[in-house]
A and B are shown apart, each in its own frame.
Chain A
Amino acid sequence: MSGTAVGPGTVSALQAALAAEHAAVYGYGVAGAYLDGPARTAATADWYAHQVARDTLEAMLRQAGAKPVAAAPAYQLPHKVNGPVSATALAVLLENRVTAAYLGVVAVSDLAVRQFGARAMAAAAGRAASWRGRTVAFPGFPPSAFS
């Protein structure tokens, strides 16, 4: 990907994915604190995965000549997290949002970025399914999209 070949739509989609990754890094920091054992281990692994994804997106954006969007100092959680159940629900929600953000990346015209988005979608969908305990037919889309 070069700075001259990337359009504003691609940059915008990558920025949205980066914002979702920032939120996921923050959110897993919260969720992990309420998990133990294998769930804690999984949360830590996913936390690292999101950090790697964040760094990758930042590099892609810089290469495209764009300034990567910064993480917020703090994020408002979608629900109160005070134990394993709510922490697991938060992990599912974070992964759903990341998957949806990469769905936007898949729609860009840059074909290499499109492939990157699809692979990232699959990774996030896998993590979401693991936390959720079941798979879904259309990761990234809202449940009502095809009903």
Chain B
Amino acid sequence: MADRTRRGVLAAAASLPLLAVSGCKGVGALAPPPRPGPDVRVLRAAIAAEEAMIARYGTAITRFPGLAKTLAGLRAEHRLHLAELRTRLVIPPGSPYRSGFTSPSPRPAGSPGAAAALPAGQAAALDFLQTAEDSAAAALLRGLPSVPPSLAQLLASVAASESTHVAVLRSAAG
């Protein structure tokens, strides 16, 4: 119940500019729409980070088939993280803050951008992924003060999951 209520609040906050525009005389009479709150910004960053991790794992799975089973398992958990994070933020179509932070799908595995983010060799790639997981978890923890309790719990859980990924990657690296 608390989560549902909070989701409603986040969605309402994101839609404020639209409501203001539709309920008043014109855009010119309005002050600039309020910027998204800190909790929305934390969510945006978390969503973007998950998308980037999924892309990196996609590249790694393609390049290193011998590690595919292990890496696919970790990627599957990132996909679950991403799906849940996206449910916490509803941005109405047409919102001035919609674009640029909720891409409809992760960058395709093996795309030039994703490949550029991953070193070529297996050992270096595993090391890179460890660092990326560690950094992602740390970023989530930095966001905890800015979000309401139910979202803090989700972020902390995702961060804990990503911390466990580091150990798996370290083991895979031998």
Identify the A interface with B (CB < 8 A): 99, 103, 106-109, 111, 114-115, 117-119, 121-122, 124-126, 129-130, 134-141, 146
Contact = CB atoms under 8 A, between A and B. Distances in A.
- Give chain B's interface secondary structure class: helix
A139 B164 contact: yes
Given A103-B153, A106-B152, A107-B152, A121 B77 contact: no
B42 interface: no
B145 interface: yes
Given A114-B152, A140-B153, A122 B77 contact: no
Contact of A119 (B74, B76, B141, B154): B141
Interface in B118-156: 137, 141, 144-145, 149-150, 152-156
- Most chain A Cβ neighbours within 10 Å, of B76, B80, B81, B161: B161
Q: Categorize the interface residue count of chain B.
A: 20 to 34
Given A107-B150, A135-B77, A135-B165, A125 B145 contact: no
Contacts, number: 90
B158 A138 contact: yes
B80 A137 contact: yes
Given A106-B152, A126-B167, A129-B167, A136 B161 contact: yes
Contacts of A103: 153, 156-157
B159 interface: yes
- Give 6 closest A-B pairs by Cβ, nearest first: A107-B149, A125-B160, A118-B156, A137-B80, A137-B77, A129-B164
B43 to A, nearest CB: 16
Interface of B: 73-74, 76-77, 80-81, 83-84, 137, 141, 144-145, 149-150, 152-161, 163-165, 167-168
Contacts of B137: 122
B126 to A, nearest CB: 16
19 contacts: A106-B144, A106-B152, A106-B156, A107-B149, A109-B149, A111-B144, A118-B155, A121-B157, A122-B156, A122-B160, A125-B160, A126-B163, A130-B167, A135-B165, A138-B157, A139-B161, A140-B156, A141-B153, A146-B80
A118 B159 contact: yes
Contact of B153 (A106, A111, A129, A136): A106
A136 B144 contact: no
Contacts of B73: 134-135
Nearest to B83: A146
A137 B141 contact: no
Given A115-B144, A135-B164, A122 B159 contact: yes
A110 to B, nearest CB: 10
